[in-house]
């Protein structure tokens, strides 16, 4: 059975990705924050060490992320370093620790979840956009570095997505207002992001690597 590691699988887009892989018959590993705290470098090292005696992952989805929205002059050092660590440093450390066995088995798929704010931007997203653009830089390099091992690496950039958090942070009127700016006239369901991630990470994908796939209902085209 193929094994997939999904970070941030407790809710939102990560939960939908986990559900999709389960439906497709994968062994799905979604560590809780207690098992793998991406803000804590020693937690990442411990997690990587514990994988040494396990079957290698066939698929790694770097999905967990955080987004503190502030104008540049209001960003605290804690928020700056927190976002850089979770959104950028942690995926690199995780891949650094887990890529060896994937290379040995000469098969792997990696999907990094960035954001529409790595395609266009908006006030208040300085650090978030920087980290998500940085994450796509990881995709660019690893696509080249790992191609000879039959490991394909891509970035998915979700647009506005109707997760529990989006519903909590926005009223129905606000969601309707944002939807007016989206050519398809609505936000994405998490499942619509999950099926694109699944394709990129499946055996069906044999030639697509190093790409930024934007799933935003046409938002960034306006
Ligand atoms: P979410 O509902 O905010 O959930 C975030 C997930 O990341 C949770 O599972 C959370 O775990 C985990 N996480 C955060 N910090 C962590 C840490 N230090 N250690 C371990 N796990 C941590 O996420 P989402 O909205 O579904 O977004 C998923 C990804 O898509 C993120 O990378 C986000 O930037 C990106 N994205 C989202 C949208 C959107 O509209 N929702 C749009 C574009 C891009 P806990 O349960 O332990 O908190």
The CATH number of whichever domain residue 84 belongs to comes to 3.40.50.720
174 occurs within a structural domain? no
Which tens digits make up the pLDDT trace of 59-86?
A: 999 999 999 999 999 999 999 999 999 9
Per the CB < 8 A criterion, the answer to whether 115 and 128 are in contact is yes
Long-range CB contact pairs, 133-138, < 8 A, 24+: 134/87, 134/88, 135/62, 135/87, 135/88, 135/91, 136/112, 136/212, 138/88, 138/91, 138/92, 138/95, 138/112
Total structural domains in the chain?
1
pTM of the model: 0.98
* Per-residue model confidence as pLDDT tens digits over 156-188: 999 999 999 899 889 999 999 999 999 999 999
Residue 149, phi-psi category: left (phi > 0), alpha (psi -120 to 50), beta (remainder) = alpha
Tokens of 68: 């503190």
**What digits encode the pLDDT tens for the residues 187-215?**
999 999 999 999 999 999 999 999 999 99
For ligand 1, atom 11: residue with the closest CA? 8
Helix axes 12-23, 190-201, angle to 10 degrees: 50
Burial of 118 per CB tally in 10 Å (0-12, 13-18, 19+):
buried
Residue 19 lies inside a defined structural domain of this protein: yes
Task: Tell me which residues have their CB closer than 6 angstroms to ligand 1.
Answer: 8, 10-14, 33, 37-39, 63-67, 86, 113, 115-116, 158, 160-161, 163, 165-166
Summarised one tens digit per residue, pLDDT across range 97-143 is 999 999 999 999 999 999 999 999 999 999 999 999 999 999 999 99
Assigned domain for 180 exists: no
Cα separation, 218 vs 154, in Å, equals: 20
pLDDT at 169: 85
* Active site (catalytic) residues: 128
Assess if residue 97 is contained within a domain: yes
Q: Say if 36 falls within a structural domain.
A: yes
Residue 140 lies in a domain: yes
Inside any domain, residue 14: yes
Give the range of the structural domain holding residue 86, as residue numbers without chain letter: 3-160+190-216
Tokens coding 221: 């085209």
In a domain, 173, yes or no: no
DSSP string, 137-203: HHHHHHHHHHGGGTEEEEEEEE-SB--HHHHHHS-HHHHHHHHTTSTTSSPBPHHHHHHHHHHHHST
The atom number, within ligand 1, closest to the CA of 32 reads 47
* Residue of 1, 207, 165, 17 whose CA lies nearest to 9: 17
109 CA distance to ligand 1 centroid (A)?
20
């Amino acid at each position: 059975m193929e094994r997939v590691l999904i970070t941030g699988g407790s809710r939102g887009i990560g939960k939908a990705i986990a559900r999709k892989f389960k439906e497709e018959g994968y062994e799905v590993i979604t560590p809780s924050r207690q098992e793998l705290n991406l803000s804590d470098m020693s937690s990442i090292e411990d997690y990587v060490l514990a994988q040494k005696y396990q079957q290698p992952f066939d698929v790694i989805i770097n999905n967990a992320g955080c987004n503190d929205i502030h104008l540049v002059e209001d960003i605290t050092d804690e928020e700056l370093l927190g976002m850089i660590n979770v959104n950028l440093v942690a995926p690199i450390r995780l891949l650094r620790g887990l890529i060896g066995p994937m290379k040995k088995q000469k098969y792997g798929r990696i999907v990094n979840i960035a954001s529409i704010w790595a395609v266009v931007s908006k006030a208040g997203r300085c650090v978030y956009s920087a980290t998500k653009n940085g994450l796509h830089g990881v995709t660019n390099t690893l696509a080249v570095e790992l191609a000879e091992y039959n490991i394909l690496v891509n970035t998915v950039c979700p647009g506005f997505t109707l997760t529990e958090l989006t519903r909590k942070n926005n009223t129905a009127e606000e969601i309707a207002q944002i939807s007016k700016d989206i050519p398809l006239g609505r936000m994405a369901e998490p499942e619509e992001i999950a099926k694109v991630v699944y394709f990129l990470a499946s055996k069906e994908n044999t030639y697509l690597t190093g790409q930024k796939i934007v799933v935003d209902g046409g938002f960034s085209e306006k």
